[in-house]
Amino acid sequence: MRQYLELLKETRELEIIDEPITSREAVSLIKKTDEKNAVLIEKIGDYDFRLVSNILTKRKYLRLALNVKNDAEAYKKLIEASENPQPLKLVEKPYMKSLQKKLAALPALKFYSKDGGPYITTGIFIAKDPDTNVQNASIHRLMIIDESTAAARIVPRHLYAILKKYGERGEDAPIAIVIGADPACYIAAVHSPPYGVDELQVANAIKNGKIFAYKDPDTGLVIPASAEVVIKGKITLKELLEEGPFVDITGTYDVVRKQPKLTVEKVEAKPDAIFYQILPAGAEHRLLMGFPREAAIWRGVSQVVPRVHGVRLTKGGCGWLHAVISISKQKEGDAKNAILAALAAHPSLKLAIVVDEDINIDNLHEIEWALATRMQPDKDIIIISGARGSSLDPSADQKNLITAKWGIDATMPLGKERSHFLRA
C-alpha cells in the first residue's frame, strides 16, 4: 500500500492533511474528496494512526494498482490470476507493536448518523478450511461493540461455509483481519474465485509473485507481510449479535441482522501504521465491489457474442445492480444472448442494457439516446420474474433474495438501413 501511495503522490492524486482533525471532520473530508482524489490524514483525533481513504475511487487508480492500460487488460489480468494463483513466498514476521486497548485503539469511523456504531470497512478476513487447510480471504464490514467484541456481516458464501465447518466440530474459527494490505489483495479479496482458491495467491499472481507473507504464530494463518494492522481472534456462528444499521452500496440503510460474533484476542500494528477506511456507498465502495463483477460479465458475454467492447456497472445503479454492455452485433438475438449471459454472470444484477459499439457506456445521455432511437419496448425488453437477486436492493424480497430482472436491447435492428440510426 505504501508503494502505491507513493505512486499517487507522484501523480498529484494524493491530498495530504498535516493538521490534526477529529474523526467527524475526517468523515466529512473523505466525503468531500470522494471521486476527486485520495486523502491521507497525518493525525486523527487522539489515535496513534495516520488514516487513508479514496485510494481506489477512479478507474485510472485501479489500472495503476493492476499495472494495466485499459479495462480489457484489467479484466483479463484478474481472470488469469484467478485461474493461475501463485503461492506466496514466506518471510519472517515483521515487527508489529501490540495495541493493548485492542479495538478501542483503532480509528474506526461512524460514517452516517444512524450507523449502529463505528465501523471498520476495509478488513480482509483470512480463515482456513479445517478439512483442506486451504485459506480464504474476503472483505466484510465489522461493527465494533466494545474493545474486544465486534459483529461481522458474513453473507452465505465461502467464509460462512468455513465457519459452519468449525461450528459442526463444536469450535470457533481462528481469524485474522488484515487492514492496509497491497491494493491487489483488496481487488482479489472481492473477486470471489471458486471455493478452494486462495485469494491472496490470486493477488500474488496479479503482482507477479511480489507479495510476501508470514505464517502467524497465533493463528497459523498466512498473512501479507505488508499489512498495516492485523486483528486476531475467534469468530463463531453459535453466538450472534445485532449488526447495523449500515449504509451499504445502494446509499440506503441496510436492515439490522443477527451476525457472527468476533472475539478479539490481539491487535497488532506497524509502529507508524496507516489505517485504511472506505466510505460506504462512495465511489471506492462501488468500484472495488463492482470491478470484479464487470470482469465476470465481460467474460460471460464474450462467450456468446463475437466481440465485447466494454462493460460498466453504472453509478446510478449503485455500481452493482445495473450494467451497460457494448457489443458488436452480427445477428439478431446477439443482444438478448448478451443480456442473459450478463444476468447469469452477476446474480445480483437487476438490469442489463446492451448497446452498439458507437455508444459511450460512460455517457448516460448517449445511453438514453440509444434507448430513444434504437429500441421498441414490445420487442426489445426482457422481464424475468421470481429470480434470485441481491439482498442490497430495498425494493426486492430481501429475506428470500427474490427479485424481478430485466434486460433492454438498445442495439440497431439489422433489418433496417444502418444509416437511419447513425448520428449526423
Round the average pLDDT of the chain to a whole number and report it. Answer: 96
Q: What is the mean pLDDT of residues 164-177?
A: 97
Q: What is the pLDDT of residue 391?
A: 86
Q: What is the pTM of this model?
A: 0.94
Residue 59 lies in a domain: no
Q: Is residue 323 part of a domain?
A: yes
Q: Which of 221, 244, 269 is the last residue of a domain?
A: 269
47 domain residue, yes or no = no
Q: Residue 169 and residue 156: Cα distance in Å, rounded?
A: 19
Q: How confident is the model at residue 197 (pLDDT cuts 50, 70, 90)?
A: very high
Provide the CATH number for the domain around residue 246: 2.30.110.10
172, 248, 334, 356: which one is catalytic?
A: 248
pLDDT digits (tens, 9 = 90+) for 41-61: 999 999 999 999 999 999 999
- Same domain for 144 and 180, yes or no, is yes
Counting residues of the chain whose pLDDT is more than 70, the rounded percentage is: 100
Q: What is the pLDDT of residue 168?
A: 96
Burial class (CB in 10 A: 0-12, 13-18, 19+), 93: middle
310 and 364 in a single domain? The answer is yes
Q: What is the pLDDT of residues 23-34, one digit of tens each?
A: 999 999 999 999
- Altogether, the residues listed in the chain come to a count of 424
Any domain includes 260 = yes
Interatomic CA distance for residues 14 and 322, integer angstroms: 30
Is 64 a member of any domain? no
Q: Does residue 62 belong to any structural domain of this protein?
A: no
CB atoms under 10 Å from CB of 162, counted, come to 26
**Is residue 272 over pLDDT 90?**
yes
pLDDT of residue 214: 98
Provide the domain count of the chain: 2
Question: 41 lies in a domain?
Answer: no
Are 264 and 306 found together in one domain?
no
In a domain, 255, yes or no: yes
**Could you tell me if 357 and 389 lie in one domain?**
yes
**Looking at residue 101, what is its pLDDT?**
85
pLDDT tens track for 283-333: 999 999 999 999 999 999 999 998 999 999 999 999 999 999 999 999 999
Last residue of a domain, one of 220, 236, 269: 269
- Of 238, 269, 300, which residue is a domain's last? 269
CB 302 within 8 A of CB 317: no
Q: Which domain holds residue 249?
A: 72-269
Q: Are residues 241 and 304 in the same domain?
A: no
- Residue 264 and residue 291 share a domain: no
Task: Please tell me whether residues 226 and 328 are part of one structural domain.
Answer: no
CATH of the domain at 391: 3.40.1670.10
Is 248 an annotated catalytic residue?
Answer: yes
> Of 257, 247, 259, which is closest to residue 286 (Cα–Cα)?
247
pLDDT for 112 equals: 97
pLDDT of 415 reads 87
